[in-house]
């Protein structure tokens, strides 16, 4: 299967710890997006990359959050000093932008629980 | 971002067609109309998108009003597997902005 993969699928951590998630996009896709989803809500945009350049960060993304896509392939999302409010599903999506719009393909998500 | 309005929930019988409406009166000329759906415990899944003309693919059809202020996602024969939250989103090449969507229930 060559879809978007995310690792880990589940993460339980204690408040104050740092966590890092990984996303492997579909090969050849030049865009990679991170979203966050809490229970009962639609996904919220966090940040996205075109190749290795981070093009936009949401105001939701506090300075405790950082994302990288070092070689324009996989991406990592790190949360420092986790808080209980960070508990959510973190979704990654990738796309190939060749025209005025793109189709995003989502991974299964990483569910974070902060105790 | 241009806003969309969708009913909170809809219900359909299995094997019947379903018409999911979306109003977007403030759509701009460059906005594409995208539909995604999210099945329980899964990430969102692309369904279809269009700009001005009606579109068909293996999953659904998208009917776009002539003035583009509304659109309808059509599932031709609903199955239990189509039970999901359906999101109508206006965008070009910007990130997806998800609203609350329409929760579709399919009754066997």
pLDDT for A46 beyond 90 = yes
**What pLDDT is attached to residue A98?**
79
Q: Closest Cα partner for A101 from B87, B31, B89?
A: B31
CB contact under 8 A, B43 and A44: no
What does the pLDDT read at residue B92? 86
pLDDT value of residue B17 = 96
A45 vs B85: CB contact, 8 Å cut-off? no
Q: B87: nearest CA in chain A?
A: A42
In terms of CA atoms, which chain B residue is nearest residue A46? Answer: B95
Is A106 part of the contact surface with chain B (CB cutoff 8 Å)?
yes
In Å, how far from its chain's centre is CA B108? 22
Is A101 in Cβ contact with B96 (below 8 Å)? no
Return mean pLDDT, chain B.
Answer: 94
pLDDT band at B1 (very low <50, low <70, confident <90, very high): low
3-state secondary structure A24-64: ECCCCCCEEEEEEECCCCCCEEEEEEECCEEEEECCCCCCC
- DSSP-based three-state secondary structure for B82: helix
The mean-pLDDT minimum among A106-110, B22-26, B58-62, B89-93 falls in B89-93
Place of tokens 């990430």: B43
Residue B31, pLDDT above cutoff 70: yes
Taking a contact as any Cβ pair under 8 Å apart, which residues of chain A between 14 and 73 contact chain B? 33, 35, 41-45, 48, 56
Cα→Cα distances A56→A21, A34, A45, B7, B66, Å:
19, 11, 10, 31, 33
């Amino acid at each position: 299967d060559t879809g978007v993969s995310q690792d880990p699928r589940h993460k339980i951590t204690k408040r104050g710890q740092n966590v890092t998630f990984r996303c492997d996009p579909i090969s050849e896709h030049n865009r990679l997006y991170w979203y966050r989803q809490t229970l009962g809500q639609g996904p919220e945009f966090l940040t996205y990359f075109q190749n290795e350049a981070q093009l936009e960060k949401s105001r939701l993304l506090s300075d405790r959050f950082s994302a990288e896509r070092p070689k324009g392939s996989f991406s990592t999302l790190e949360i420092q000093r986790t808080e209980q409010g960070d508990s959510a599903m973190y979704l990654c999506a990738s796309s190939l932008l060749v025209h005025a719009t793109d189709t995003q393909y989502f991974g299964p998500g990483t569910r974070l629980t902060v105790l | 971002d241009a806003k969309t309005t969708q009913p909170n929930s809809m219900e359909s019988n299995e094997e019947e067609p379903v018409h999911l409406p979306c109003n977007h009166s403030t759509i701009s000329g460059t906005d594409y109309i995208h539909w995604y759906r999210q099945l329980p415990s899964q990430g969102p899944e692309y369904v279809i998108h269009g700009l001005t003309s009606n579109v068909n693919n293996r999953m659904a059809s998208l009917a776009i009003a002539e003035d583009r202020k509304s659109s309808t996602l059509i599932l031709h024969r609903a199955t239990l597997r189509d039970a999901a939250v359906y999101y109508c989103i206006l965008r070009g090449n910007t990130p997806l902005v998800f609203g609350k969507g329409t929760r579709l229930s399919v009754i066997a």
